[in-house]
Amino acid sequence: MKIWKNYKTETAYDELMHSEFQSRPVSHGLCQYLDSLKKEDIDKRKMAAELAIMEMGITFTVYSDEGNIDRAWPFDIIPRIIDAKEWRIIEKGLKQRLTALNCFISDVYSDQTFIKAGKMPSGIINSSKNFRKECIGMKPRYNVWANICGTDLVRDKDGIMYVLEDNLRVPSGVSYMLENRVITKRVFPELFQGIDILPIDDYPIHLHNMLSSIAPHQNGQVTCVVLTPGIYNSAYFEHAYLAQQMGSQLVEGKDLVVDEDNYVYMRTIEGLEKVDVIYRRIDDDFLDPEVFRKDSTLGVPGLMRAWKAGNVALANAPGAGVADDKVVYAYVPEMIRYYLNEEPILPNVPTYLCSKKEDLDYVLEHLAELVVKPANESGGYGMLVGPQATAKEVENFRQIIQKDPRNYIAQPTLAISTAPTLCKGKLEPRHIDLRPFILQGENTFVTAGGLTRVALKKGSLVVNSSQGGGSKDTWIINMEGS
């Protein structure tokens, strides 16, 4: 079979293949099926997927000097597979982690017992860009601040899944997860017959239920809206998609107004209508020009007043980003022990904090082996992948770190796992990660799988769509009874 020719699995753990010739038990069904296809068949399926993406208008926006361009979502038709038995453990670990993180955020904005108990230096919070003093004393419903979390997982050479980061501000990607499944069903409908793949399309319902559960009042109908920065935001497609799937209104800042009674209203054809819950996809900084950035035209003046008066729920709550900091990340295992009295189910990647003297020394000495990341950036910007950088880039980074050590962390370069990916009519291993989405309100919910992102460039470890990454459908397969 030509498409598997010279499939190399030595350098990293491969999610589907033991070796060039042997698939893992969980991927037998898929591999057998792929084997039965001719090269032309595969090409046809790939074209069908591309056509579907164009017609469905699944795009993301790339910021560039020449203005913003809508690009078709790069999608690889070969799914990534995880055994449901393993998934159940990961799911438990994700719930545990988000629960502890929410305990931590509540604590940070109230008594700070974690810090008082000496578990974390207070300087980390005080110097965090995402710590919002305006939120001190607030008590969101169920004490949950981060209602929607996207956690990035990677598997190292040892086969263990590690948590790479927790995205607690406005994580995106879930619409692509849902659309990837729609496309796969169109392209490989035969596969869904014999294989027990867990469904994922109930996410919008769970999202809506969660949002309703955090409404300030629980009498009668709850009005939820999705607040978007607008059409020029890179995730606009997702905002519109989720609003549509939930049957909610998609609003922009100018559609909302906070009245003197400190309630939030939207401007409708019938006049002003009260809003109970806002799923906001705008960063804290731009949320309310009365409190945060004065020049923000995306936000709603007075929104923080309404939130603090308990008249509207915001998801995620302002200030939740304090735990979305790569320095704070290093303390999550300790949070789990402290707040939940449990051992962490999912391990962290070992992390060196440049704010610590001995860590900094180690990092500077081993710069060429490590991955260095800014504490507060997302999208894969501003990071250094030591083994892939030139000597000049490494030296450059040395200067940058020394100027602002608090803002940098370093981790060993993981040999993150690969999965077969269609490259010019042939399957080749490409590095992947996984972003499951976790919802927490009255209950906690984890998507069955998540968004698998793939670095389409050979050897690349950067999976972000803004930097040449694509994505795959993710299958959680139930092997029991088969």
Partner 1 sequence: MLSRSAERLYWLARYLERTENIARLVSVHMNLLLDLPKGVEMGWRQLILINAAEKEFYEKNNIANERNLIGFLLADASYPGSLFSSLSAARENIRTSRELLPDEAWEQVNEMYLFAKNNLDTVADRRHRVIFLNEILKGCQRFTGLLSGYMSHNHPYRFIRLGGNIERADMTSRILDLASLLLSESRSNEMRQYETILWMNVLKSLNALLMYRQQMRSRVKGDDVLNFLLLDINLPRSVGYCIAEMYDCISKLPNNDQLLLKLIDLETYVQAIDIRQTTQVQLRSILDVIQNKLGGLHTQISDNWFLTASGE
Q: How far is the CB of 256 from partner 1 (least distance, A)?
A: 10
- Rounded Cα distance between 168 and 450, Å, is 16
Binding of partner 1 by 343 (CB under 8 A): no
Binding of partner 1 by 267 (CB under 8 A): yes
Binding of partner 1 by 9 (CB under 8 A): no
Q: Of these, 47, 54, 136, 309, which contacts partner 1 (CB under 8 A)?
A: 54
Contact 390, 404 (CB under 8 A): no
Binding of partner 1 by 297 (CB under 8 A): no
Q: Which residues contact 144 (CB under 8 A, 6 or more apart)?
A: 102, 214, 317, 440, 441
Nearer residue to partner 1 within complex by CB, 178 or 476: 178
- Rounded Cα distance between 339 and 341, Å, is 6
Binding of partner 1 by 40 (CB under 8 A): no
- Rounded Cα distance between 317 and 134, Å, is 12
Q: Of these, 117, 205, 231, 309, which contacts partner 1 (CB under 8 A)?
A: 231
- Alpha-carbon distances, residue 89 vs 49, 239, 406, 419, 451 (angstroms): 32, 30, 34, 21, 18
Binding of partner 1 by 260 (CB under 8 A): no
Q: Of these, 55, 65, 66, 295, which contacts partner 1 (CB under 8 A)?
A: 55
Binding of partner 1 by 144 (CB under 8 A): no
Binding of partner 1 by 248 (CB under 8 A): yes
Q: Which stretch binds partner 1 (CB under 8 A): 7-15, 30-38, 251-259, 462-470?
A: 251-259
Binding of partner 1 by 244 (CB under 8 A): yes
Binding of partner 1 by 50 (CB under 8 A): no
Q: How far is the CB of 276 from partner 1 (least distance, A)?
A: 16
451-455 and 352-353 as β-strands: parallel, antiparallel, unpaired? unpaired
Nearer residue to partner 1 within complex by CB, 57 or 123: 57
Q: Where are the beta strands (DSSP E) in 326-397?
A: 352-353, 370-374, 384-385
- Alpha-carbon distances, residue 270 vs 248, 257, 273, 300, 367 (angstroms): 17, 15, 8, 20, 61
Q: Of these, 101, 161, 266, 456, which contacts partner 1 (CB under 8 A)?
A: 266
User: What does residue 340 show for φ and ψ, rounded to 5 degrees?
Assistant: -105, -10
Binding of partner 1 by 183 (CB under 8 A): no
- Rounded Cα distance between 221 and 275, Å, is 11
CB atoms < 10 A from the CB of 291, how many? 20
Residues that bind partner 1 (CB under 8 A): 54-57, 226, 231, 240-241, 243-244, 247-252, 254-255, 266-271
